[in-house]
Amino acid sequence: MHTLKLIATLAACTLQVLAQNGNQDWDLAYAKAEQALAQLSQSEKIGIVTGVGWNQQPNGPCISNTSPASSINYPALCLHDGPQGVRWAEDVTAFTPAVQAASTWDRHLMWERGLFLGEEFRGKGIHVILGPAPGALGKNPNGGRNWEGFSPDPYLQGIGTKLTVEGIQGAGVQAAAKHFIANEQEVNREEISSNVDDRTMHELYLWPFADAIHANVASVMCSYNRVNGTHACENSEVLNHLLKDEMGFPGYVMSDWFVAQQTTSGSANAGMDMATPGSDWGGGNQLWGPRLQQAIDQGQVPQSRLEDMVRRILAAWYLLGQDQGFPSINFGRDVQADHAANVRAIARDGTVLLKNDDNILPLQSPRRVAVIGSSSVPNPNGVNSCTDHGCDRGALGMGWGSGSVTYPYFVAPFEAITTQAQADGFQVVSSTTDNLNAGATAARDADVAIVFITANSGEAYITVEGNPGDRINLDPWHNGNGLVEAVAAVNRNVIVVVHSTGPVVLERILAQPNVKAIVWGGLPSQENGNAVVDVIWGKVNPNGKLPYTIARSMNDYGSTSIFQGLQDNFDEGLYVDYRHFDAQGISPRYEFGYGLSFTTFEYSDLHIDSDAFPGPAMGDTVPGGREDLFFDVMTVSATVKNTGNVEGAEVAQLYISLPDSAPETPPKQLRGFDKLRLAPGESGVVTFEVRQKDLSYWDVELQNWVVPMGTFRIHVGASSRDIRLQEDVDIKC
């Protein structure tokens, strides 16, 4: 809408009265930080903002460590990877990657995963966890690190991130949302420029960070890439303006490791607050430390900027209560408690049933089961034998890189199926390589053949089987297509289980009529095999849904990592994942939000209760942005009934289409989800609280979020393409 029209609209509208609360937690933390700051010497201030190296004694065992300040009893801060658990440590839980948690669409499990992560970091005496990782958003389906985040949908990414931050910080550990921002690929990640237009930046990439900040995230890590030409950690527009001014971020910005920080004064003046790990690979070349002092002495960086950095870092420390009774660093403690239960639940409930012809699943008393594929067994060299899981040998539980975790144990499918066989008394035959003939031989006389295939990705510093972090294509690895074809040629009951960091093109597999079922195992970490058995043997009614689109071809996505060149113009704009498929009328193979169940659900009774007004956001800025953006302004509810014969859980999804008065916007966007467990015949009500921001677009002229005036279409359904209920609602003055 044009500005004048908008002002006219506004004049006609009753202004909402806004509560002006600010944020009392941060206010208190800032008051303490101010007092502490007054007691610090100049060198202590420099020490607080400068890392002293990584994972090297005598500097400290963490991936970054800063200097202590004895005058205020401030410790050498320990910052450590990563979003899936404590890296490079024994006696820890290897939590499921975030993408698997997103596949559950279960808010409690996401929050609990965060809480348990926080408990494990705290138990080891780590002050700051380097996660969660809402950027990469995952606009490129082959993006190497997408699995460390939740979903290419900003709403799902935002809710997952917020719940994780609440969980982690609820355990008294500082979370660091990373990587800020538009860090969408691994290839050339340290040089590529993400050239993003203002609206797309807000509606897709800043969106989940705003949720993290609103949840009081202590820290944000700026990314390696350039944003519109300037490195993110040297980019005042990104850090000072978007993050700190517009989104009101009260915490501190740390650099991504080593080269994300390029200069002494540039990074300081752009709004970076902590140099991590503060050195180069060899431990030398500190850009801050004495060089920051020199820059201050020469008037290149104001002293007030240093004090702002320190204030922010101390405030975060006080916010989390880390000044009182925080455990000393001890990587030797066993911190696992009963956290494996959360891994099992997410591995299981994040498994998505894609296809189930003839209701082959759950299996009904097979006598002979063939288990096929190298990923049905653990890595023969040891489940932790590859540095940072940088290989694709054996069953897959997570991708590779700094976000990987040492498995405390690993249950592969063969072991779990063998255990089931002992209980049920069926025979297991196997072929534990990817050899086609051996696979076919094992499958030939079996009642059912289960074929395990993978696709893997990770962080740029390791290349695996020709994949430099980002995947070079979306095919199954190790000729998984060929293996399935060979097995399907000799067996009529083939079940394919896919473990993957992201979407895989399944067309050759689906062309085999003997492939009766496809189970999308995702990334189940240490509970891999148990989750497979839970679903295939029907101990659970599958209830995960896809947190991304599975296309018929990689070209269908409209955006992939750029392997040649250093400019990514983000030409797809807002049209990422299902937004692109919907707008272009491309039919996906399995759409965003899709997943089968052993039962069926019926939707009815859509209710919409709206207090929303058109117009721009007008609240004071609180952590996350203008306060009113986070107010609930609409409640949508619907009845869901389990119409089948078994208990099941349904993930109902709310999508909203903006009125015509808004500038061109994707046809519909996810703006809510709710999961209900229902007995056969039972009904329940799903409820979606819609925030003002969920109804808004970013107005580039006004530089503000605006609720457009007119008719919004509300869609409630079982997936992004299986809409069951629709109604229009007018938002006007």
Choice between 178 and 202, CB closer to ligand BGC: 178
- Find the shortest distance in angstroms from Cβ 677 to ligand BGC: 35
Q: Determine, following the binding rule CB under 6 A, whether residue 180 of this chain makes contact with ligand BGC.
A: no
Closest separation in Å from C-beta 1 to ligand BGC: 40
CA angle 398, 400, 403 (to 5 degrees): 80
Which of 256, 534, 577, 694 is flagged as catalytic? Answer: 256
Element containing residue 61 per DSSP (H, E): none
| CB atoms inside a 10 Å sphere around CB 643 | 14
Q: Of the two residues 257 and 578, which places its CB atom closer to ligand BGC in the complex?
A: 257
Which pair of tokens denotes residue 175?
């979370």
Phi-psi region of 138 (alpha: psi -120 to 50; beta: other; left: phi over 0): left
Which residues are 277's β-sheet partners?
Answer: none
Q: Which of residues 664-683 bind ligand BGC (CB under 6 A)?
A: none
402 binds ligand BGC, rule: CB under 6 A: yes
Tell me how far, at minimum, the Cβ of 385 lies from ligand BGC, in Å.
20
Residue of 29, 130, 497, 505 interacting with ligand BGC (CB under 6 A): 130
Which residue among 46, 63, 163, 546 contacts ligand BGC (CB under 6 A)?
63
- Using rule CB under 6 A, residue 61 touches ligand BGC: no
Name the residue nearer to ligand BGC (CB basis): 148 or 694: 148
- 231 near ligand BGC, judged by CB under 6 A: no
Supply the minimum distance, in Å, between the C-beta of residue 256 and ligand BGC: 5
Min dist CB 177 to ligand BGC, Å, is: 11
Residue in 199, 191, 205, 289 with CA at minimum distance from that of residue 243: 205
Q: Token pair for residue 297? A: 């002495």
Rounded Cα distance between 598 and 674, Å, is: 19
245 phi, psi to nearest 5 deg: -80, -60
Give kind and range of the element (H or E) at residue 495. Answer: strand 494-500
Residues 480-539 that bind ligand BGC (CB under 6 A): none
Strand stretches in 555-600, DSSP E: 567-568
Helix (H) / strand (E) containing 485:
helix 480-488
**Distant-in-sequence, close-in-space partners of 691: CB < 8 Å, separation ≥ 6:** 629, 630, 631, 632, 633
In the bound state with ligand BGC, the residue whose beta carbon lies nearer, of 1 and 130, is: 130
Distance (Å, whole) CA 457 – CA 146 = 9
- Report CA 181 to chain centroid distance, whole Å: 14
**φ, ψ (nearest 5 deg) of residue 601:** -130, 145
- Distance, in Å, from the CA atom of 106 to the CA atom of 120, rounded to the nearest integer, reads 21
* Contact in structure between 99 and 547 (CB atoms under 8 Å): yes
CA-to-CA distance for 211 and 203, rounded, in angstroms?
Answer: 12
Query: Binding-site residue total for ligand BGC (CB under 6 A)?
Result: 8
How far from chain centre, in Å, is Cα 512?
Answer: 33
Which residues, 74 to 103, sit near ligand BGC by CB under 6 A? 81-82
Among 257, 400, 603, 655, binds ligand BGC (CB under 6 A): 257
Minimum gap (Å) between residue 182 Cβ and ligand BGC: 14
Q: Look at residue 611 and give its three-state secondary structure.
A: coil
Q: Return the number of the residue (225 or 431) whose C-beta is nearest ligand BGC.
A: 225
Does 178 help bind ligand BGC (rule: CB under 6 A)?
Answer: yes
CB of 223 or CB of 528, closer to ligand BGC: 223
Nearer to ligand BGC (CB atom), residue 178 or residue 580 = 178
Would you say 178 or 589 has its CB closer to ligand BGC? 178
Residue 685, sorted as left (phi over 0), alpha (psi -120 to 50) or beta, turns out to be beta
256 is catalytic: yes
Q: What is the closest distance, in whole angstroms, from the C-beta atom of residue 224 to ligand BGC in the complex?
A: 7
User: How far is Cα 166 from Cα 163, in angstroms, rounded to an integer?
Assistant: 5
Q: How far apart, in whole angstroms, are the C-alpha atoms of residue 678 and residue 649?
A: 6
Toward ligand BGC, which CB reaches closer, 63 or 354? Answer: 63
Structure tokens at 155: 């709403």
Q: In terms of CB distance, is 256 or 572 closer to ligand BGC? A: 256
- The rounded distance, in Å, linking the Cα atoms of 594 and 546 is 5
Locate tokens 């997952």: which residue? 160
Tokens 């609280």 found at: 689
Shortest approach of ligand BGC to residue 373 CB, angstroms?
31
Q: Are 604 and 692 in contact (CB under 8 A)?
A: no
Supply the minimum distance, in Å, between the C-beta of residue 448 and ligand BGC: 41
Across the beta sheet with 669-678, what order do the strands follow? 669-678, 648-657, 710-717, 723-731
Q: What is the distance of C-alpha 613 from the center of its chain?
A: 32
> Which residues, 6+ apart, have CB-to-CB distance to 175 below 8 Å?
114, 118, 128, 129, 131, 132, 164, 165, 168, 169, 212, 217, 218, 219
Which of 106, 256, 556, 674 binds ligand BGC (CB under 6 A)? It is 256
Minimum distance of ligand BGC from residue 423's CB (angstroms): 42
Residue burial 80-117, b: 16+ Cβ < 10 Å; e: rest: bbbbbbbbbbebbbbbbbbbbbbbbbbbebbbbbbbbb
Q: Which is nearer to ligand BGC, 150 or 257 (CB)?
A: 257
Element (DSSP H or E) covering residue 702: none
CA 297 – CA 301 distance, rounded (Å): 8
Retrieve residue 333's tokens: 């403690």
The residue (of 130 and 509) whose beta carbon lies closer to ligand BGC is 130
Closest CB 120 distance from ligand BGC, rounded Å? 16
Measured CA to CA, the distance from residue 719 to residue 371 in angstroms comes to: 31
Nearer to ligand BGC by Cβ, of 132 and 615: the residue is: 132
**Least distance from ligand BGC to the Cβ atom of residue 66, Å:** 14
Rounded Cα–Cα distance for residues 36 and 34 (Å): 5
Smallest separation, CB 605 to ligand BGC (Å): 45
Instruction: Return the residue matching tokens 């080593």.
Output: 258
Active-site amino acid positions: 256
Residues that bind ligand BGC (CB under 6 A): 63, 81-82, 130, 178, 256-257, 402
